Chains A and B, each alone.
Chain A
Amino acid sequence: MIVDVLVLAALGAILGLDVVSFPQAQISRPLVSATLGGAFMGNAGVGLLCGVLLELFAHETLPFGASRYPEWGSSSPIAGAAAAAGAAVGSVPMSLLFAVPFGLLTASLGGWSMVQLRQLNARLARRRLDALARGSARTVAGLQVAGATADLSRAGLVAMLAAIVALPAVRWIAVQPAPMSVYAIPMLASLGGAVAAGAAWKMFHSTSGTRWFGLAGLAVGALLVSLMSRG
Chain B
Amino acid sequence: MSGASEPTPPAAPPIAAPAFPFRTRAAIICRLFAVQASWNYEILIGNGIGFCVEPALRLLPGGAGSEEYRAALARQSQYFNAHPYLASFAVGALARAELEGQPPARIERFRTALCGPLGSVGDRLVWVGLLPACSFAGLLLFGVGATALTCVLVFLVMYNAGHVALRLWGLQMGWEKGLAVASALGHPILREGPVWLARAGTFLAGVAVPLAVMRLVDGGGLARVGLTLVTAAAGASALVLFHGRVEGWRLALLAGFAALVLFLFRHA
Contact = CB atoms under 8 A, between A and B. Distances in A.
A-B complex is real: yes
Interface of A: 20-27, 29, 31-32, 35, 38-39, 44-45, 47-49, 52-53, 55-66, 70, 94, 97-98, 100-101, 104-105, 108, 118-122, 124-126, 132-137, 140-141, 143-148, 151, 173, 176-181, 183-204, 207-211, 213-222, 224-226, 228-230
B204 interface: yes
Interface of B: 33-34, 36-44, 47-48, 50-51, 54, 64-65, 69-74, 77-78, 81, 83-85, 119, 123, 127-128, 131-132, 134-136, 138-139, 142-144, 148-149, 151-152, 155-156, 159-160, 163, 194-195, 198-214, 216-218, 220-222, 224-229, 231-240, 243, 247-253, 255-257, 259-260, 262-264, 266-267
| Interface secondary structure of B, over-half rule | helix
B131 to A, nearest CB: 7
Contact of A31 (B40, B44, B74, B139): B139
A33 B132 CA distance: 16
Given A121-B40, A188-B256, A189-B216, A21 B206 contact: no
Most chain B CB atoms below 10 A, which of A45, A53, A143, A151? A143
B259 A97 contact: yes
Contacts of A208: 195
Nearest to B199: A213
Contacts of B78: 132
Contacts of B243: 198, 202
A181 B259 CA distance: 9
Contacts of A179: 266-267
A175 to B, nearest CB: 11
A207 B202 CA distance: 10
Contact of A144 (B48, B85, B143, B160): B48
Nearest to A45: B148
Given A198-B238, A228-B214, 12 more contacts: A25-B159, A55-B135, A97-B260, A100-B252, A122-B40, A124-B38, A132-B50, A144-B48, A178-B263, A188-B216, A197-B233, A218-B206
A186 B214 CA distance: 9
A221 B206 contact: yes
Contact of B225 (A124, A183, A229): A229
Contacts of A132: 47, 50, 74, 77-78
B206 A190 contact: no
Given A65-B81, A105-B253, A194 B248 contact: yes
A73 B141 CA distance: 22
Contact of B36 (A20, A193, A199, A217): A20
Contact of A196 (B64, B85, B149, B209): B209
B156 A32 contact: yes
Nearest to A61: B249
Contact of A229 (B39, B134, B139, B221): B221
B198 A141 contact: no
26 contacts: A21-B39, A22-B37, A44-B148, A48-B148, A60-B247, A62-B132, A101-B257, A108-B253, A121-B39, A125-B38, A125-B43, A133-B74, A135-B72, A140-B51, A143-B51, A147-B38, A185-B217, A186-B224, A186-B228, A188-B216, A189-B212, A189-B213, A194-B234, A216-B206, A217-B208, A221-B211
A141 B171 CA distance: 20
Nearest 6 pairs of A and B residues by beta carbon? A217-B206, A194-B235, A135-B70, A193-B232, A101-B256, A198-B239
A14 B148 CA distance: 20
Given A101-B253, A132-B77, A193-B236, A59 B156 contact: no
Nearest to B249: A57
Contacts of A226: 222
Given A200-B132, A207-B198, A24 B73 contact: no
B203 A214 contact: yes
Given A62-B131, A193-B213, A225-B225, A178 B208 contact: no
A178 B267 contact: yes
A23 B212 CA distance: 28
Contacts of A31: 135, 138-139, 142, 151-152, 155
Most chain B CB atoms below 10 A, which of A70, A121, A140, A230? A140
Contacts of B128: 62, 203-204
